[in-house]
Structures are given as structure tokens and as C-alpha cells.
């Protein structure tokens, strides 16, 4: 199975909204509502931001939201803040396998 | 609060076996509903799932590494381990251990440990 496809970069100004896409296939993203999103700051461990397409773990700001349409999942960050600048990775559970996207570097201008 | 900590050699010679252990604290590795993963990140690159194991010992591996990977669990020590054989420079990466939930989301991660393959 191939990795999920994400744009390498995204950007926005403080206060704006940015959406990052994650494209898979009918055998992973398209079939399972088990898409999760991770935020990773340099030198740090990834942090779970979204699970099951759109569920936010406790402590994650509601500025972060997730959705899915067909084989593509999306992460939207609203009201961008400086601390949102990080790498973002999507992941999909596909049967017994786990796939990750290549990551998107989000820059807050 | 569950915490995970990776340990093992930071330098491995080519063709040898990479061995890492993840120690879990703040929770039992035998708790139902979770699996325990190894995930690596090549320098400056994205995340790559290696495999995961349930406390029962059932393990699943990514197809590209399946022939070289073994993940095991020691519930008495609340640890799980990774062995990757016949390593090359391409296996140089930061190796993370993480806890996964039933829907595949990894909610707790170790800080990661850099393993360099070099003679």
C-alpha cells in the first residue's frame, strides 16, 4: 500500500483558516473512518490532534477540525496562531495496516 | 498519564540487528483495547509505520519491512521491543514507540531515539 498524499506545504496569516488535504484510496481513507491527524514541532514527538476523521482529543483547541469526502480527508485550522506552525501528518488505519501521509509543513506568515 | 520511553544503542553497524525497547509507565501494557507501535522517521522526512503488537503477542508489520522486523512484548516488564535485522544506512532514523487505540490513532508517543547505521 502506498503512503497517503499530502501537499508538502501550506501557509496562512494569523487569524486566517488553512485546510490541509490527505488523499488515499478506496482501500484505506475511502473505506475506514479511522483517519487521524498529528502535529509535530521540530525535535518533538508527534501529537494527536484529530482521530476518527473529526474527533478532537481532550485539550486540543476547537480551532482544529477534520472531515472526509470519498478518498480524501482534510484538516482545517481556523484562527491561525503562531504556535500552529508545525508539520502535520495524516494517518489511516487500513485493516491491519497503518498508513501515514508524507507530511505538510504549515507556515504562519 | 501514560508515558513511553525508548532505549537501545544509538549506533548499529551495517548488516547487524537493531534492537530497541519501549518501557511503558503510567498504565498497563496489558490494558485491553490498545496496541503498541513502532514508528520511524528518517532525518528530515515523514513518519513511517513499522509495526504494532497487542499484549497477546499478535503483531502486524508493514509489508516493506516484514521480512526483517520482529516486535515482541513482555507484559511482566511492561515493555515491548523492536528487532530489525540486516540493517543498512537506509535504516538510520529516529525510532518512536507509541500507543494506538482501537481506531488506529496513536495518543501517546515516546520522544524518539536516533539510531544511526554506520561502520
What are A18-65's pLDDT values in tens digits? 999 999 999 999 999 999 999 999 999 999 999 999 999 999 999 999
Q: Please tell me which residue of chain B has the smallest CA distance to A32.
A: B103
CA A54 to chain centroid: 10
- The residue of chain B nearest to residue A60, with distances taken between CA atoms, is B107
Alpha carbon distance B52, B96 (integer Å)? 12
pLDDT for res A94: 87
The answer to whether the CB atoms of B104 and A102 lie below 8 A apart is no
Strands B3-7 and A64-69: unpaired
Task: State how far the Cα of B105 lies from the Cα of A35, in Å rounded to an integer.
Answer: 8
Residues 25-54 of A with CB under 8 A from B: 32, 34, 36, 38, 44-48, 51-52
List average pLDDT for each run of 10 residues in chain B, which is 119 residues long. Answer: 96 98 95 93 95 95 96 96 98 98 90 97
Q: Residue A1: pLDDT band by 50, 70, 90 thresholds?
A: low
Torsion of CA B115, B116, B117, B119, to 10 degrees: -130
Q: Judge: A103–B112 Cβ closer than 8 Å, yes or no.
A: no
Amino acid at each position: 500500500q502506498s503512503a497517503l498524499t499530502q501537499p508538502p506545504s501550506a501557509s496562512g496569516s494569523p487569524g486566517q483558516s488553512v485546510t490541509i488535504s490527505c488523499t488515499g484510496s478506496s482501500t484505506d481513507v475511502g473505506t475506514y473512518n479511522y483517519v487521524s491527524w498529528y502535529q509535530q514541532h521540530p525535535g518533538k514527538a508527534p501529537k494527536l490532534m484529530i482521530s476518527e476523521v473529526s474527533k478532537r482529543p481532550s485539550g486540543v483547541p476547537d480551532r482544529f477540525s477534520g472531515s472526509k469526502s470519498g478518498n480524501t480527508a482534510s484538516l482545517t485550522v481556523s484562527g491561525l496562531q503562531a504556535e500552529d506552525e508545525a508539520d502535520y501528518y495524516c494517518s489511516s488505519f487500513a485493516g491491519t495496516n497503518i498508513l501515514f501521509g508524507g507530511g505538510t509543513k504549515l507556515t504562519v506568515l | 498519564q501514560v508515558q513511553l520511553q525508548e532505549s537501545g544503542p544509538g549506533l548499529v553497524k551495517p548488516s547487524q540487528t537493531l534492537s530497541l525497547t519501549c518501557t511503558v509507565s503510567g498504565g498497563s501494557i496489558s490494558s485491553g483495547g490498545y496496541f503498541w507501535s513502532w514508528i520511524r522517521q528518517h532525518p528530515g522526512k515523514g513518519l513511517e509505520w513499522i509495526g504494532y503488537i497487542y499484549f497477546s503477542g499478535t503483531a502486524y508489520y508493514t509489508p516493506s519491512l516484514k521480512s526483517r522486523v520482529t516486535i515482541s512484548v513482555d507484559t511482566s516488564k511492561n515493555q515491548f521491543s523492536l528487532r530489525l535485522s540486516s540493517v543498512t544506512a537506509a535504516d538510520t532514523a529516529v525510532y518512536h514507540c507509541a500507543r494506538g487505540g482501537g481506531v488506529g490513532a496513536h495518543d501517546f508517543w515516546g520522544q524518539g531515539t536516533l539510531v544511526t547505521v554506520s561502520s
